[in-house]
Amino acid sequence: MRSVIVTGGFGVLGRAVAEAFRESGDRVARIDFAPSAPDANPGGLDLGGVDLTDVAQAAAAVERVRAELGGIDVLVNIAGGFVWETLDDGGPATWAKMFAMNATTCVTMTKAALPTLRETPGAAIVNIGAGSALNAGAGMGAYAASKQAVHKLTESLAAELAGTDCTINAVLPSIIDTPVNRADMPDADYAQWVQPASLAKVIQFLASPCARTISGALVPVSRGG
C-alpha cells in the first residue's frame, strides 16, 4: 500500500486522481487551498486551507502526511489555476498570479516532499503541464508561461534525480472536461475533451512500476476518453 499526495485534491481532477489511486489500494492525502473537501476520502487524509505558495505551510503538510500515512511514495502536483487575459487588458499582476498558482505551488510542494521521495524505493512525481503551453494563443501568455515553467522543472529535476529511484514526469492535457470549462465554452464539442478519469489513468501509469524507465517526459493527453 502506497502513500500518495494529491495537491489541488478537492477539485474535479484532484478528486478523480485520488479516487483512481484509492481504487488501486493506495492511501491518499488530498491537499487544497479550499477549506474543506466536497466528498469523503476513505482511509486517507484531507488537509484544507493550505497555501502551497508558502514554504512553511507546504513543509507542515508534508510532515503531517508522513506522520499519519507513514511516508510518501507518490506526489501528484495538480494545484493551479487559469486566467485568460490579453496583455492589453492585464499585465504583471496576472503573470505573477499565474506563476504563483501553477509554478510556485509545484516547486514548493516538490521541494518539501523531495527528501522523502529521494529515499523511497519506486517513488514518483507527476506534474500537470498543459498542451496549450507549447504554442500559446491570444490571451494565453501568462498561463502558458507558468505551465512552461512546470515543464522545465520536470525536465531539470529528472536530470537532478538521475541515479535515484525517483522519477518525475508531466502530463500535458488539452481541455479537461469540467463543469467550469463547459460553462466557459458552452458551444464547444465536449466529445473531444479529456475526461478527468482518463487523465487520472495516465497519471497512475506514470506512477506505476510499468513506467520506471520513464523520467523527464512531457506526455501529451489530447483525446477524449
Tell me if 31 sits within 8 A of 54, measured CB to CB. Answer: no
Cell match 464539442: residue? 189
Catalytic amino acids? 143
Which domains, from first to last, does the chain contain?
Answer: 3-221 (3.40.50.720)
Render pLDDT for 177-218 as a digit per residue (tens, 0 to 9). 788 888 877 877 888 888 999 999 999 999 999 999 999 999
Render pLDDT for 112-144 as a digit per residue (tens, 0 to 9). 999 999 999 999 999 999 999 999 999 999 999
Q: How far lies 104's CA from each of 44, 68, 147, 156, 194, in Å?
A: 25, 25, 11, 15, 25
